[in-house]
Amino acid sequence: MTRVAVVGSGIGGLTAAIALRARGHEVDVYDQAGELSEIGAGVSLGGNGMRVLDALGLGKAVREASSNLHRIQFHHWRTGEIFHEHPMGDWYEQRFGGPFLGIHRADFHQVLLTAFDGEPHLGRRCVAVHESATGAGLEFADGSGAEADVVVGADGLRSTVRHHVNDTDEAVFAAMSCFRGLVPVDRVPGGDTFGLTFFLGPGRHLVAYPVRGGELINFVAYVPDPEWTLESWSARCEPAEAVAAFAGWSPTVTALLAGAEETGRWALYDREPLRRWSTERVTLLGDAAHPMLPHAGQGTNQAIEDAAALAHFLGQPDGLHRYEQARKARTRQIQLGSRTNATCFQVPDGPPAEERNARLAGLPQMVGWIHEYDVYANLTGNDS
């Protein structure tokens, strides 16, 4: 049995804690938050992430808290006309081995907290990590500390643990920001028919899908914006700012953006792929290891895959480095591909948009290598 300290009680950290406990390890989770509140909006879960959640016994609870995204639709930004549609639902599950779901981050977090069956240590902002031949230690801002055999940094984009593993790295600004919010479905014309819904326009786009069993529509609206540089999940703005940024768009878009009671806004950053994720007793997971832009919809799913791989290798000889090697190439490819996707969505109207729209007809096949991935099958060849 290994004593593990997980820094960060988000989706990646809690999934890792659950997976590690299932393997017989002793796990404590530490988080800087003073309390766990209902933060964030929606996240999407693909077949690759659901395969892990099913294996951990969480699939039923996640499905009950989610909305099945039964189709994908692409709409013209001004007219709202659908120019391409593809079934998801049963087709997706048969093709990729699991459902494609939209879930409120808070609902997902509650499923994980229930499965963890314990309380994270709150109010513990990690400020330093130390390690020796016999263990690893954490220092917290309140003067307290913790000891473990292994430390897992699941502390997100601005990870303190990453700075222990690597030299300080700089954030890469995408020169974009996004508006994000949740809207009751009855405020959105046609909202009760939404699956995974895109509105694509000149230089900007909006993605929307149902969460919480279809009660709410989650939206993320992307705009080119070199001026808004605030890298914060908690930044807020007036819904009118989002409406103004999409002036002239379809009435459905306007109603969606205007219907949010609270709108978040933040600048989009990622980091360059890391040279290494691990030392002898410290490793990274999720955004702490491979922060990526949201344009592949894989940040959450890749953290879940990381958790499965880490639990598989921990306790084996050189387990942390083998975990890193099993994960690094895949996450790097998705991380860099998310940047490419960002530029794809920023084209102007006219022939560039028409060319992009024609390519979107093949989207389910183009992303098949991501969604069909079975992390467990890809770990067996690395066993000792």
The residues annotated with a catalytic role in the active site are 209
Q: For strand 71-76 and strand 26-30, is the pairing parallel, antiparallel, or unpaired?
A: unpaired
* Rounded distance between C-alpha atoms, residue 196 and residue 87, angstroms: 10
**C-alpha distances in angstroms, 307 versus 13, 64, 135?**
8, 22, 21
Cα Rg of the chain (Å, integer): 21
Would you call 349 exposed, middle or buried from its count of C-beta atoms within 10 A (0-12, 13-18, 19+)? middle
**C-alpha distances in angstroms, 254 versus 199, 247, 306?**
11, 8, 38
H helix runs in 39-132, sequence order: 47-55, 59-64, 89-96, 105-116
**C-alpha 292 chain-centroid distance:** 9
Q: Is 280 helix (H, G, I), strand (E, B) or coil?
A: coil
What's phi and psi for 120, nearest 5 deg? -60, 150
* Structure token digits, residue 186: 């009855």
- Beta partners for residue 3, in sequence order: 26
DSSP string, 137-174: EEEETTS-EEEESEEEE---TT-HHHHHHS-----EEE
Contact (Cβ atoms closer than 8 angstroms) between residue 88 and residue 99:
no
- Interior/surface letters 219-249, b for 16+ CB within 10 angstroms, e for the rest: bbbbbebeebeeeeeeeebebeebbebbeeb
Q: Cα angle at 376 between 275 and 46, to 5 degrees?
A: 85
Contact (Cβ atoms closer than 8 angstroms) between residue 57 and residue 117:
no
